[in-house]
Amino acid sequence: MKILILIFLISINFSFAQSKDRKISLWYNYGTVPIGKKDLVTSSESIDFIQTEKGDYMIVKYNQTKPGKLKNGGKPGRSSIAGEVAYRNPPKVEGIGLPLISQNIIDNWISALDINKNDFKDSTIKQFLSIPTKDEIVDIAKKTDHIWKLQGKYSYEKNKLDLEKLFKEIAGYKYLEELMKNNIVEENDTLPKYHVHEYESLRISITSSNDEKNFFINFKYPLGQPIINGYYQRPSSKRTYNFGVNTNAINFLPEDSYIKKAFEGNNLKMNYIKWFLETKI
């Protein structure tokens, strides 16, 4: 019986992935209140994809709001964003402008959004990450107001070797598994909460003539995992861990896309350094 149910669910996902009249909409939002400031700095991005008659995909909308301050003390809903909006012209079917995207690439990405593979492990993810440099670690320590920890604990000459050891621990992702375990939760458990002074999220809408699916991604979790099935994050929402969501997304998103950068390993690297400075020193 379980086998029949599994085959039925897979067939539903497959038929949806093979739809020929699909539209995909992505809405990305980022906001932060820098240390010592009260203004909310925000940026956003929206991208729409549609299928051509041959089944490939083309981008018909690509808008970005560059980072800008939200006025009136950073109170959403009462002021306008000061950032500059960049509108991109849609590509032509002939391939002029942004290139067409293979149907297989998009189909693989859509399938990954809805299939739990439990492959979100540090041994897999380490291959996706670049090694943090000393300059990157110090820069993040300054931006997150943790530089005093390095200067205070390791300021004396006799502690310079300890500082070098610390840099090696960060660069080697010594505690990456611990960070990952903190975010792998059981189906009925509550997802961990993050500071309200910073948010980064993505909403995904995939529609066709006979179906619609929505997903929510919170990039304050490592690499945006788990994927939330639904338009909002709720305690009862289905959760999916699938590293293919990241690896497939960076294959088709525009090079300068904020969403692509969020899916890349660099985003996790920076979050790991911040987490290390907050919890391990």
Q: What is the mean pLDDT of the chain?
A: 77
Give Cα separations from 219 to 61, 227, 230, 275 (angstroms): 23, 10, 16, 14
Does residue 149 contact residue 141 with C-beta atoms inside 8 Å? yes
User: Amino acid identity, residue 48?
Assistant: D
Residue 28 has pLDDT above 90, yes or no: yes
Domain residue limits, the chain: 2-23+103-131+172-279
CA distance 263 to 254: 12
Residue 109 has pLDDT above 50, yes or no: yes
* Contact status, residue 31 vs residue 41, Cβ threshold 8 Å: yes
3-class secondary-structure state, position 256: coil
For the chain, state the CA radius of gyration: 21
Dist. CA 29–CA 200, nearest whole Å = 6
Is the model's pLDDT at 80 over the cut of 70? no
What is the rounded average pLDDT of the residues 128-145? Answer: 90
- The arrangement of strands across the sheet holding 85-88 comes to 85-88, 57-70, 40-51, 23-32, 198-208, 211-218, 227-229, 238-240
Do the strands 198-208 and 40-51 form a parallel or antiparallel pair, or are they unpaired? unpaired
User: Per-residue pLDDT for 156 more than 70?
Assistant: no
Q: Residue 78 — pLDDT band, cuts 50, 70, 90?
A: very low
pLDDT of residue 192: 55
Average pLDDT for 93-111: 79
Asked which of 11-15, 97-101, 258-262 is least confident by mean pLDDT, the reply is 11-15
Q: Are strands 227-229 and 238-240 parallel, antiparallel or unpaired?
A: antiparallel
Q: How confident is the model at residue 261 (pLDDT cuts 50, 70, 90)?
A: very high
* Res. 157 pLDDT band, cuts 50 70 90: low
